[in-house]
């Protein structure tokens, strides 16, 4: 199952999946299982979507057969499941334009200028494009000590860290980094946290200093962040703490991005689909949290089923002679 590039540099594939979160990765496995070549495009630089970007250490409880599975482990398992079918991953590529060629096949062009001609497209974009809420102070240090995600915790070994935020992601990062960092200080603008109580208690038990009713008012440094100024929101008193890194976990703003201009049927910024997981556009399907239909339940486990439904129905569009149900995976050799 190989993807080919024609004389004009256009990549051709059977199925193009837009979105490399759990539903997209499971869709990549299922497309491969059906004998289809598959390409996966995602705007993020790593696989796993929102889970990898914001909740890699968070336990997930709605995966059938598991009492709990860590986000990072779920993504690793999904990648390994698809690996035998050699999906092509186009990471750091935002799906920018959709057109249909003279042959009726969808053609998607990324913001990097890569063009993919597919026999079917499956959109599994989760919440769509999500942009981190910026830290008002010190945005000029982005990439130089200030970050919004922690793709590789090891780079923060033996550093003094400041984590900003009061939600699950902030406490997840603090808990993950506390054992390897020199120090971790968590700063939140109120004394009330959105994070689960157990996460808060875990961070306290790790010896993380939690500073409430305060905000990071200034980042200080030459080429990189060296210190962070913390200001109490009521008294306006300030203190400066050492910080070679600042992780701002302030949530994100979600948007469909270019997808909203593709002519897709939408409802409340979600893509409407039928029972085939087909959209209103020919050969374009969707699955996972980005979809909407009556009775929709947004769970990862539901997204897996929708991805399989979308791929199976796409397979019958690609080859009208193909069976909708390909048989159980236990009946085939891998």
State how far the Cα of 171 lies from the Cα of 166, in Å rounded to an integer: 7
* 255 labelled ligand-binding: no
* 285 labelled ligand-binding: no
State how far the Cα of 312 lies from the Cα of 13, in Å rounded to an integer: 16
Q: What share of residues in the chain are helix, strand, coil (percent, to 5)?
A: 25, 30, 45
Calculate the dihedral angle through the C-alpha atoms of 169, 170, 171, 173, rounding to the nearest 10 degrees.
80
* 130 labelled ligand-binding: yes
The answer to whether the beta carbons of residues 174 and 168 sit under 8 Å apart is: no
The radius of gyration computed from the CA coordinates of the chain, to the nearest angstrom, equals: 22
Nearest CA among 125, 122, 42 for reference residue 311: 122
* 3 labelled ligand-binding: no
What residues contact residue 28 under an 8 Å CB cut-off, 6+ apart? 17, 38, 40, 82, 85, 87
State how far the Cα of 16 lies from the Cα of 116, in Å rounded to an integer: 8
* 50 labelled ligand-binding: yes
Nearest CA among 199, 39, 54 for reference residue 108: 39
* 149 labelled ligand-binding: no
* 95 labelled ligand-binding: yes
Does the CA dihedral 293-298-91-307 come out positive or negative? negative
State how far the Cα of 83 lies from the Cα of 89, in Å rounded to an integer: 11
Q: Which residues of 141-150 are buried (b: 16+ CB within 10 A; e: fewer)?
A: beeebbbbbb
Residues annotated as binding site for FAD?
A: 42, 50, 55, 95, 130, 289, 330
Residues annotated as binding site?
A: 42, 50, 55, 95, 130, 289, 330
């Amino acid at each position: 199952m190989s993807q080919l590039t024609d004389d004009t540099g256009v990549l051709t594939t059977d199925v193009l999946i837009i979105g490399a979160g759990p539903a997209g990765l499971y869709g990549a496995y299922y497309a491969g299982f059906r004998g289809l070549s598959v390409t996966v495009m995602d705007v993020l630089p790593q696989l796993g979507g929102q889970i990898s970007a914001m909740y890699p250490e968070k336990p997930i409880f709605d995966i059938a057969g598991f009492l709990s599975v860590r986000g990072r482990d779920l993504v690793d398992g999904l990648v390994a499941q698809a690996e035998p079918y050699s999906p092509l991953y186009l990471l750091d590529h935002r799906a920018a334009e959709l057109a249909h060629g003279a042959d009726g096949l969808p053609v998607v062009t990324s913001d990097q200028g890569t063009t993919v001609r597919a026999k079917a497209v499956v959109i599994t974009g989760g919440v769509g494009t999500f942009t981190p809420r910026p830290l008002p102070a010190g945005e000029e240090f982005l990439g130089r000590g200030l970050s919004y995600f922690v793709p590789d915790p090891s780079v923060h070994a033996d550093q003094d860290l400041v984590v900003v935020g009061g939600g699950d992601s902030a406490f997840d990062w603090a808990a993950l980094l506390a054992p390897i960092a020199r120090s971790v200080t968590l700063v939140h603008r109120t004394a009330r946290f959105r994070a689960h109580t157990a996460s808060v208690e875990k961070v306290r038990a790790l010896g993380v200093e939690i500073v409430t009713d305060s905000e990071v008012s200034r980042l200080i440094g030459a080429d990189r962040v060296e210190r962070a100024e913390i200001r109490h929101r009521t008294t306006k008193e300030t203190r400066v703490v050492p910080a070679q890194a600042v992780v701002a976990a302030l949530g994100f703003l979600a948007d469909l991005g270019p997808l909203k201009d593709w002519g897709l049927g939408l409802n409340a910024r979600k893509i409407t689909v039928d029972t085939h997981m087909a959209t209103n556009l020919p050969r374009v399907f969707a699955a996972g949290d980005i979809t909407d239909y009556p009775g929709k339940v947004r769970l990862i486990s539901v997204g897996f089923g929708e991805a399989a439904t979308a791929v199976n129905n796409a397979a019958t569009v690609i080859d009208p002679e193909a069976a909708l149900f390909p048989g159980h995976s236990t009946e085939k050799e891998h």
